[in-house]
Structure 1
Amino acid sequence: MQATLIAIQQYCSVHEIESNFVDSLADEGLIAITVVEGNSFVSEEQLQDLELYTRWYHEMGVNTAGIDVIRHLLDRIRHMQMEISHLRARLHLYEGL
């Protein structure tokens, strides 16, 4: 199955941002850009993240380095929440003995 690609130029036009913003996200390693016949695309799987980063940038004025920090911290929070849930489950198991 072939992944659906969204043209970066079209995405930027719709969201009223400059394409160098998307390029800087790629430089930070936040998204991957696919180049086909000289045109840049982003996969549909990354669209949700790209829209989130665009909102942070456009509405809140967060630069790409800040976006990377926020994403990293949110990933750590999710990981810690999963670990807490796992530890609570283990605690309930031992409390039941």
Structure 2
Amino acid sequence: MEGQNFISILQLCDHYNVEVSFFKQLEEEGLVEITTVKQTQCLHQNSISDVEKMIRIHQELKVNIEGIDVVFNLLQKMKSLQNEMNSLQNRLRLYENDF
């Protein structure tokens, strides 16, 4: 585990103007994974994009943590269905080209 791939939760709190408890609640819901690097609680940089979305949903739409969980589950389901639909459309094109 390299420290350069992680961002301190305290830095994120300062940058996004949220409390540490917000990240703790996200972790309790299973929405983020907090990792301790050199005695500092951090998030992996790959999760920052999702965290930014969660913060915007929370701050701009006033959605609580449980609501954010629901929204992200629905977004994942939509993405999965979109991928399945694209796959089926590609298969359909193969059959259409044969005729």
Length-normalised TM-score, structure 2: 0.88
Q: 1:61 and 1:48 mapped to 2: Cα distance?
A: 19
- The answer for the alignment partner of 1:63 in structure 2 is 64
Aligned pairs for 1:1-97 (under 5 A) are 2=2, 4-96=5-97, 97=99
Q: Which amino acid counterpart does residue 26 of structure 1 have in structure 2?
A: E
Instruction: Name structure 1 gaps, 5 residues minimum.
Output: none
With 7-16 and 21-30 compared, the bigger mean Cα shift is at 7-16
Report the secondary structure of 1:29's partner residue: coil
With 31-40 and 83-92 compared, the bigger mean Cα shift is at 31-40
Q: 1:15 and 1:7 mapped to 2: Cα distance?
A: 12
With 51-60 and 32-41 compared, the bigger mean Cα shift is at 32-41
Length-normalised TM-score, structure 1: 0.89
Instruction: Name structure 2 gaps, 5 residues minimum.
Output: none
Q: Which amino acid counterpart does residue 59 of structure 1 have in structure 2?
A: E
Distance change >3 Å, CA 36–CA 94, structure 1 → 2? closer
Q: 2:7 and 2:89 mapped to 1: Cα distance?
A: 42
Q: Percent identity?
A: 35
Q: 1:5 and 1:35 mapped to 2: Cα distance?
A: 9
Q: Give CA-to-partner distance per residue, 1:54-79, whole Å, 9 cap, x none.
A: 11111111111111111111111111
